Amino acid sequence: MPDHPPAHDLFTVPAGMPARSALTRDCTACGACCSAPDIAALHKPLGVPCTHLQPERPGLGCLCGIYEQRPQVCRSYAPDWVCGEVAPLPTLEQRVRRYLDIYGLSDALPLA
């Protein structure tokens, strides 16, 4: 029996949130976190890919065009259970929708 409870596992899906996909523990450059949330430091609105996000390329995914100069908010972001929910989806649009669904923000998107 450990003396302390285990540290919070960022890859455990929270209670009440059904996991639809295998959990992903590494960033696969799916582009969702560079597209779905609004990022004030980049003047990036919700649901719109960052202007620095490069188009998806086979085997590489969506890479940051200013990786060495990216702002602190991007440097601080770490993969978690949400990656397992969004990264396996086939298109960036689907990943963004799922990401925003998870956070209850998809209603804030402009109508397609």
Residues lying near ligand SF4 in the complex (CB under 6 A) are found at 27-34, 39, 42, 50, 52-53, 64, 66, 70, 74, 79, 83, 86-87
State which residue, 3 or 69, has the beta carbon closest to ligand SF4. 69
- Long-range CB pairs of 14-17 (<8 Å, 24+ gap) are 14/81, 17/102
> What is the C-alpha separation between 48 and 96, in angstroms, rounded?
9
Q: Are 50 and 44 in contact (CB under 8 A)?
A: yes
State in angstroms the smallest separation of the CB of 3 from ligand SF4.
32
State which residue, 1 or 28, has the beta carbon closest to ligand SF4. 28
